[in-house]
Structure 1
Amino acid sequence: MELKHIIPNMEKTFGRLEYAGEGTVEQRRINGKPTVLSRSYNLYSTIQRADDIEVILPADAGEKHFEVDDKVKLVNPKITAEGYKIGTRGFTNYIMHADDIVKL
């Protein structure tokens, strides 16, 4: 069995989301030109307070410009899991993806 993704209950898992800032831009050279593959953004959560929530959007969602603390909503969010090991111990990195971010 392969875990493709999890569709979270956004209200129960994250509460209200607020824009916290831009993250990274993943680029690759295609036909000699740098091409944007995805952009990440940081969000604050009223429930997950220990760390910011990082969400990755596809390049076709475009670049987003919000003010810090603007209330936002994710369009079609899903979480993927990525396993890795350090020494003999196994760990999981959870990655949030969405089709878009919209201001509320």
Structure 2
Amino acid sequence: MDASIPDEALARLPFWVTPPGETDGFLITVGILLVLILLGFGALYFTIQAIPDRMAAGAHKVQMQLVGVLGLISLFTLNNAFWIAAILIAAVPLHEIFPLQRESETPDA
């Protein structure tokens, strides 16, 4: 019994079928594409994750630290509530809502 494939059958095979003993170019292409897509989505995820920190840049130190801690908690726990809280805290200037008065600024009674 002859186990070889006739030339007419080989001509009708799809392009992704690799003959025995040759390098599978389609598999390599798909593997490289998969790695690039995963790296792209990871970069996009970390860019979106850094939005609250960028919004809070230039704010008071306490506000920046609070936004940074909430961002890290949301990153490690994958809980979106912390990220939304960080966005809200970064968007609203806390020193206007909770004014910090020093002892020298308090009126004498």
TM (normalized to structure 2)? 0.19
Q: Between Structure 1 and Structure 2, which shows a larger proportion of helix residues? A: 2
Larger Rg: 2
Higher relative contact order (CA 8 A, sep 6+): 1
